[in-house]
Amino acid sequence: MPDPVLEAEQFAEQFTAEPEAEWQIYAPTQDDLPCDDGIPMETLRHKLQMDILVDAYMNWLIANQLQGFVGGNMFVYFSPDQVRNQNYRGPDVFVVKDVPPGERRSWVVWQEGKAPDVVIELLSDSTARHDKTEKKQIYQDRLRVTEYFWYDPFNPDDFAGFSLQRGFYQPLNFDAQQRLVSEQLGLALVRWQGIFKQVEAVWLRWATLDGELLPTDKELAEQERQRAEEERQRADRLTAKLRELGIDPDQP
* The pLDDT value given to residue 86: 54
Our measurement of the distance from residue 7's CA atom to the centroid of its chain's CA atoms, rounded to an integer in Å, reads 29
Bridge-based pairing of strands 68-72 and 180-182 is unpaired
Sheet strand arrangement including 118-122: 68-72, 93-97, 118-122, 147-152, 155-165, 168-171
* The pLDDT value given to residue 90: 81
Show me where the domains of the chain are located: 35-215, 216-247
Confidence (pTM): 0.76
Q: Rounded to an integer, what distance in angstroms lies between the CA atom of residue 68 and that of residue 54?
A: 12
Q: Rounded to an integer, what distance in angstroms lies between the CA atom of residue 202 and that of residue 156?
A: 7
Residues of the chain with pLDDT under 50: 1-2, 4-25, 32-38
**H or E segment at 212?**
none
Domain 35-215 has CATH 3.90.1570: yes
